[in-house]
Amino acid sequence: MPSTELESARFTSIDWATESGGWRSVRLRTAGLVAALLVVAALFTYDYVVAPRELFEFLDWDVTRIDWLFLVSTVLFVRYAVVPLAANRDRAASYAAEFARRPAGVLSLGYILAFGVLGVVGPEWFGLARVDFGTKLQPPVFATFDAADVWPYTCVGNSVGDVCHGTWQYPLGTTRVGEDMVKLIVYAIRIGLQLALSAAMIMVVVATAVGTAAGYFGGWVDDVLMRYVDVQQTIPAVVVYIVLATMYLGQGLFALALIFGLLDWGGIARLVRSEAMQRRTDGFVRAARSAGASDFHVVRKHVIPNSTATIVTALTRQIPLLILAQVALAYLKLNNVAYRSLGEVLLRGLSGNPVPWHQKWWIAGFITLFLVLTVVSFNVFGDVVRDVLDPQSEVA
């Protein structure tokens, strides 16, 4: 039997009076987070106080409100998603292996990584789509366009009579003002990423705080918070956006991210709450409490980490909805972005000017395809993430 050779009667004894946690144990990643946030805050102060009207010249970048929000969100994303994965290689590797076993997971992950990369650097790489009537209504590569009713019309590729053939110069075709569809979609990805990350970070922070507080503490805290969520969920974020954006905030991406982020987290909070309620009775939470852990320790070390699968899955449901909402609002001319939103392009693509929409099908078609791919990828990604991250499946 293993337990018979106990040499000394007591275990390693520790003089608790001399053990104090204190500041020295603040971890590097916490310090990094604080530093990064301070840098953003300093830049913000500089931009708004010292040089409100100027660009960051070295970047040729006029930082707008949505950019600031995006920056802060990126910092948080790096700290709470990228750093933990990078720090825990084994775990990251085992997640990767789990992903690799699921073809749908690999495809959706690939799409989302591409989405992320293009969102950050795409518009700078590809440039913005320019209006050029000389290249209007070019068909996509391998497709044709009968330009009989359009005048004047220039075909960039080969034309046979009135029929224009597409070229690799504009693989997805152009709009009726000659904008390259590829560049439009790349820019749409930028918009989507800014909106998704910003709104998602607001939602995650609020939903996690509210959900864990309600689920973990229960009682009147739960009652108050959940009744508030009930009330909030009866008010559609879209309506609030239309009212506030038209009256105060301006119909930009910032208003959209802020309002949806602050109003659309109710569902996630509910999921987190039920997760937290389960955790509260789990053995490891009870063990930690019996070892003297504070509520803060338990929530931070056990409740929130074990809710990640739920939170990430819920977010992957929410993000495509946000992107769709933005396109829809832009279609209704209720949302303007710095350059051009797919909503506007779609609106013009569906109009009968100068030819009916089905003759320039690629405009509406590729936009729809892009939106469908995005929605499906996020949903599939969410499902796979739930399977991969789910702590319950690891227990089994």
Partner 1 sequence: MTDESEADAILSVRNLEKHYPVRSGLLRRVTGHVKAVDGVSFDVHEGETVGLVGESGCGKSTTATSLLRLEEPTGGEVYFEGEDITEYGSDDEQAFRRRAQMVFQDPNSAFDPRMTVGESVAEPLGIHGLRDGDRQRRIVEDLLERVGLSADDADQYPHEFSGGQKQRIALARALILNPDLLVADEPVSALDVSVQAEILSLLDDLQSELGLSMLLISHDLGVVRQVCDRVGVMYLGELVEMAPTEELFANPQHPYTEALLASIPDPDPRNRGDAVELTGDVPDPSDPPSGCSFHPRCPRVVPPADYDFPEDSFREVLDFRLSVENGDVDGDEFASPADVRDEFDLPPELPDGDADAVISAAIEDVLAGDTGAAADRLGDAFETVCEREAPELVETDAGHPAACHLHGAASEHAPPELSASDDD
Binding site for partner 1 (CB under 8 A): 1-4, 6, 9-14, 16, 19-21, 25, 282-284, 286-294, 297, 301-302, 305-306, 391-392, 394-396
Distance CA 229, CA 227 (A): 5
Residue recorded with tokens 């750093």: 83
Q: How many CA atoms lie within 13 Å of 243's alpha carbon, on the beta-carbon side?
A: 6
Contacts of 195 (CB under 8 A, 6+ apart): 66, 253, 256, 257, 322, 323, 326
Q: Which is nearer to partner 1, 9 or 160 (CB)?
A: 9
Tokens of 63: 């930082």
Distance CA 364, CA 184 (A): 12
Q: Which is nearer to partner 1, 13 or 234 (CB)?
A: 13
Q: How far is the CB of 127 from partner 1 (least distance, A)?
A: 44
Phi then psi for residue 341, to 5 deg, are: -100, 155
Distance CA 324, CA 315 (A): 14
Distance CA 252, CA 188 (A): 14
Q: Which is nearer to partner 1, 289 or 348 (CB)?
A: 289
Distance CA 133, CA 120 (A): 29
Q: How far is the CB of 176 from partner 1 (least distance, A)?
A: 54
Distance CA 283, CA 145 (A): 67
Q: Which is nearer to partner 1, 22 or 161 (CB)?
A: 22
Distance CA 282, CA 277 (A): 9
Q: How far is the CB of 395 from partner 1 (least distance, A)?
A: 5
Q: How far is the CB of 235 from partner 1 (least distance, A)?
A: 24
Q: Which is nearer to partner 1, 307 or 377 (CB)?
A: 307
Q: How far is the CB of 223 from partner 1 (least distance, A)?
A: 8
Q: How far is the CB of 215 from partner 1 (least distance, A)?
A: 16
What is the signed CA dihedral for 319, 324, 330, 332, rounded to 10 degrees?
Answer: -140
Q: Which is nearer to partner 1, 41 or 231 (CB)?
A: 231
Distance CA 276, CA 278 (A): 5
Q: How far is the CB of 272 from partner 1 (least distance, A)?
A: 16
Q: Which is nearer to partner 1, 110 or 305 (CB)?
A: 305
Q: How far is the CB of 195 from partner 1 (least distance, A)?
A: 30
Q: Give pairs for 327-336: CB < 8 Å, separation 24+.
A: 327/188, 327/367, 327/371, 329/238, 329/241, 329/251, 329/256, 334/241, 334/242, 334/245, 334/246, 334/251, 335/245, 335/251, 335/252, 335/253, 335/256, 336/251, 336/252
Q: How far is the CB of 9 from partner 1 (least distance, A)?
A: 6
Q: Which is nearer to partner 1, 9 or 28 (CB)?
A: 9
Q: Which is nearer to partner 1, 1 or 59 (CB)?
A: 1
